[in-house]
Structures are given as C-alpha cells and as structure tokens.
Structure 1
Amino acid sequence: MEKHVALGIDIGGTHITAALIDLDNRHLIQDSIRRQPVNSKGKKEEIINSWCKVINETFKDVPNQLRYIGIAIPGPFDYEEGISLIKDQDKFRALYDVNIKNELSACLGIPKDHFYFINDAASFLQGEVYAGAARDKSRVFGLTLGTGLGSAHCIDFKSVDADLWNEGFLDGIAEDYFSTRWFLKRYKEANGRELTGVKELVALLDSDESAQQIFDEFGENLANFLVPIIELHQTDTVVIGGNISKAFFAFSQKLMETLKQKHVAVEIAVSKLNELSAIIGAASCCEEYYISK
C-alpha cells in the first residue's frame, strides 16, 4: 500500500522550515525536517529560489507527480489563488501581487494543483486539531502568544484565521494586552526596571511578588477576552501556543478561576506540537488530494 505523504512548510519573515508528514499516521517523518534562513527583503528570484532549494532537499527522491505541498504563510495573502498581497511590511515586498503558486510550480516542476496555501495562524490550529492538543475536537479556538497575537477558529476540522489582533479590548486592542510587550510594559510600570522577555519574568516568580501579580492580571484579561468568543462560537477547546504559552503554569490558575466565575466551561490546552504545529497543519490540508483520487 502506498504511503500518503505531504510536505508541510512554515514560512516566516526570516526563515523557511519544512518537513515530510506521514498523513496515514499523522506524524513527522524522522530526519526530514529542514530549516534555512531567507532574506525576506531580497528580490523575488532570491526568495523563490531559496524556498525551492529547501523543498527539493526535503523531497529528495520523491517523483514530482507525487509531491504534494501545504504552505503556511502570513497574510495578507490570497490563499485560494496563491498570490502574495504583502506590501506595507518589512518583508516580502518583492513578492507583492506575485502568484507564488505559479512561481513554485515552474521552479520545481510540480503541478500547480499540488500546492495548498493556508494562513500561518490557521495552520497552527489545524496542526493541533489534526495531531496535537485538540486532536479530533470539532469546535476549537487557537491563540499564538508571542511578539504578536495570532488567532484562529476551527469548526468541523477546518481552521480559518480569526484575525483578532486588532480587536478592541480595554483601552486598546487585543495585541496590546496579549503579547510580550505587555509584560515588559507592566513590569516596568511596577518596578521601573526593563526586562528582555517573558522568560526573564518567569525567573523572578520566586523572588519578586509583582511577577506573579502581573501573570495573574494577564490570566484575568485573557479570560475576559475569551468569554465572548467561546460563547459566540460554542467553543469546546482553546489551544494556546507561542512562546508565552511556556509560562502557562504562571497564569493558568487565574485564567481558569475567572472563566469559572463567568460560568464558562471550556478545556484549555497548551500546544503539543509547538513549532511543528504549522508544518503539520499545512501538510494535513493535502489530505483532500488523496481522498479525491
């Protein structure tokens, strides 16, 4: 029996990461992962060629007609057609209005209908529902908490970008409160000292009472942000990823207490796949190609 395999790709502002995913067993194929820096400020040819190099290295001896590729890439992007719409950011400006699907197909010799594009936040959640912390759950909300805020909904196993980073919240927008910069700002307000990241704040939990207070405030804010989302979409599971999720233990108690006070029952899960979530999620989108054959 032929093994069903697809290549999952996570494209970031400074790198490309790719790995082969076994779609029959829903796991990464050992030793297949490749990661390479990409000059996102370079010319179109430089960027496309660097992506193609990694794709060819990862596929190795797989014939072109058996190569299926799922690509997680940030927006704005026309995911159906494969066209980049990024123009006002400090990355990929040379790709604006370029049909990435056509470029990769020509460069690699792979049929255009073997490519699937998905938003990076949606791909994170797709991976967790497919093979991670929310496996086989049908109504899931995902958050990636780090330098920015990513969000996605998954209903009936199909993830889409929720795009809630600029949603109004308290005295600003959601990303003002659910990103690394909020922690750094709050600690400086409380102590007059500057930190470099959330990991440094975690290290202060045993020695600085204000550190726990800040995590508690974060947990309460996060619960209040989640309540209307959970109620509107009848969410049964919330998956939290990103670097801040590593500090989940520090804000989870206040988060759950606040949700309980609001009479909201939901499972809160931390990403199991971490940086592999988007890769596995992107590759899983290729299942439909095998199913349709």
Structure 2
Amino acid sequence: MESNMMYAVGVDIGGSHISSVVVDVNSGNMLKESLAEVKVDNQASANEILDKWAGTISESIKSINREKLIGIGFAIPGPFDYKNGVALLKNVAKYDSLYGINVGDELKKRLDLSSDFPFRYSNDALSFAVGECWSSKASNYKNVVAITLGTGFGSAFLTNGVPVIEGDRVPESGYVYHIPYKNGIADDYFSTRWFLGEYKNRTGTVCNGVKEIADRVGNDGTAKTLFDDFGSNLANFLVPVLATFDADCLVIGGNISRAYPLFSAAFHRVLNEQNLEIETMVSKLMESAAMVGSARLLDDEFWTKMEPLVAKI
C-alpha cells in the first residue's frame, strides 16, 4: 500500500501564522502527525518570514518519505500572482516585505527542492471550499456555497467540487463581501467588527471578541438579540445569492461559525419564510480545510480544471 501513496503538503498562510500538513492525494486524508504551525511576524523582513515558512513546511515533510512528495500547495491571501507565485501584498498591513518576491523560488532554495518541483497556489477562501468539498460531507452535494465568518466575510461557489468564479450564477470572482447591504456592504455586517461595534453601540461595553459576547448570552438579553439579528441578516442576505446559484448545500466556517447554535434558529426561520430548502452545515475541518484544499491542487486531474481559474483570481 505504501508504494502507491502520493503525498502533497498543504499550506495555509494566515495573517500572523503558517500551518502545514501532509495530505494523501488519493484520499484527501491528512497525516495528523505531520501538522506544523508557527506564529509569524507579518511585519518582519522577507528573509525572516520565508525562513519561518520554510521551517514549518520542512517539519511536515519530515513525517514522510521525501520521495513520495509530489508537490506543495498554498492557500494564501491576495493580492497575489497565483499563476506565478509572486507576492503582491502592499499597503495591507501584512507581509509588505514580500512584495514582488517569487515565493516559490525562494522556498524551493530553502527546502532544497529542484526549480521545477510543483508549487501551486490559490486564495484562502477557495482553498477552504475545495477542502470541504473534497474531504467532508459537502462532497455529497452538487452546488455548494462555502462562507467564512471572521475578520472578514469570505465566500466561494463550487459545482461538482470545482470553483465557479464567473457567469450569471455567481457574483464577480465568487466574492460577496463587497455586495451592498443595508447601510454599507456585506463585510460590514457579517464579520467580527459588526459584533464588537454593535454590542458597544447597544450596551456601551467594549468586548475583545465574538466569543466574549457569546459567553454572555445566557445572562444577557442584548447579547442574545445580537445573535438573533445576525442570523436573520445573514439569511436575508444569502437567500438571493443561494437561489441564483441553485445551491443545495451551504458550508459555514470561520471563527464566528463556532457560535452557530446561537444564531441558527433565526437563520433558518428566515430561510423557511423565504421557502429556501438547503442543507446547512458547520465546517468540520475548520482551520484544516484550507490546507486540505491547497493540497488538492497537486491532483493533476483536479488541477486541469483549477489552473484556468487560478490565473483569474
């Protein structure tokens, strides 16, 4: 069995950390003992950042026979040249020192890999969705919408496990964060800052995170109402998006999804009122989904479908 194994490393580049894990490309299963995660100072020099990235990936690779490694996939936030592996982040308060650097070339040197060793890239939201549609119950559905609720509002649309980023069924590039909603855009209402800002507006109390507000629900009517409002707003926003895509499954991830039980009743009440039937599930993979999804980029059959899209994101 071991002789038939093919492995890829899936890497998730976060705003202040890097995580990597080895994935069996045939099954989508992670080798949990290969999981590595390191905090990264996103304001550090390019060399310091790249050294930490390479060190983390190297730790994951140690868990397998290096000859079985067929490539490395990266889930990385934009702006980024996903086709060529060049960082384009600038004036976004993170990783500015990497601007214009070919990340793949630099990491291959540090990892002692040949210049033609496969490195493939996608953005974090798409990688999350691909991972969910490959290695979770979402794989049983045709049209899947995956959203992430956290610092920002991420989204991706997939048909038969492949992202859809253009056409009449989806918003441009599959992004919903910028769509107008109420007095602003969706990102203003479906992110951590909405919870913190709205709770302060209603109570005068400053909280440090959504979990702090969630912990108050049992004894705080305002906190409970806040989650009800969030669920109703989210459903009202998503109903036309889901209907246009003819979605049969919605996957919810990101840190706020951990509080799903607090807003699910309000969310489904609106779906029922709008006569929208859809399977809704909270991500089981959570932070691992983006790593699994980026590793799938090394499946050549999948890559033939994904490569044309990568050049457009």
Q: What TM-score comes out, normalization by structure 1 length?
A: 0.93
**Structure-2 separation of matches of 1:13 and 1:199:** 20
Residues 290, 195 of structure 1: alpha-carbon distance in 2 compared, 3 angstrom cutoff: closer
Residues 1:30 and 2:42 are matched in the alignment? no
**Structure-1 separation of matches of 2:258 and 2:68:** 40
Residues 1:84 and 2:78 are matched in the alignment? no
> SS at 2:22's partner residue?
strand
Q: What TM-score comes out, normalization by structure 2 length?
A: 0.87
**Structure-1 separation of matches of 2:74 and 2:292:** 10
Corresponding residue to 1:122 among 122, 126, 138:
126
Residues 280, 291 of structure 1: alpha-carbon distance in 2 compared, 3 angstrom cutoff: closer
Corresponding residue to 2:7 among 5, 12, 27:
5
Q: Encode CA deviations 1:211-256: one digit per residue, 9 max, x unaligned.
A: 2211111111101111121122111111111111011011111111
**Structure-1 separation of matches of 2:204 and 2:42:** 36
Matched with 1:225 is 237
For structure 1, the 5+ residue unaligned runs are: none
**Structure-1 separation of matches of 2:41 and 2:116:** 25
Letter of the structure 1 residue corresponding to residue 272 of structure 2: K
Letter of the structure 2 residue corresponding to residue 285 of structure 1: L
Q: Which runs of 4+ in 1 moved over 3 A?
A: 61-67, 110-113, 289-292
Corresponding residue to 2:65 among 48, 54, 62:
62
Letter of the structure 2 residue corresponding to residue 255 of structure 1: F
Matched with 1:247 is 259
Matched with 1:74 is 77
For structure 2, the 5+ residue unaligned runs are: 166-172, 305-313
**Structure-1 separation of matches of 2:186 and 2:156:** 14
> SS at 1:29's partner residue?
strand
Q: Encode CA deviations 1:125-155: one digit per residue, 9 max, x unaligned.
A: 1111111241242211111111221111112
> SS at 1:228's partner residue?
helix
Matched with 2:21 is 19
Corresponding residue to 2:218 among 181, 188, 206:
206
Instruction: Tell me whether 251-260 or 196-205 shows the greater mean CA deviation.
Output: 196-205
**Structure-2 separation of matches of 1:291 and 1:162:** 19
CA shift, 1:12, in A, is 1.1
Contact 1:133 1:270 (8 Å CA) reproduced: no
Matched with 2:228 is 216
Identity of counterpart residues, as a percentage?
38
Letter of the structure 1 residue corresponding to residue 76 of structure 2: I
Contact 2:6 2:70 (8 Å CA) reproduced: no
Matched with 1:94 is 97
Matched with 1:147 is 151
Aligned-residue Cα RMSD (Å) equals 2.0
**Structure-2 separation of matches of 1:33 and 1:271:** 19
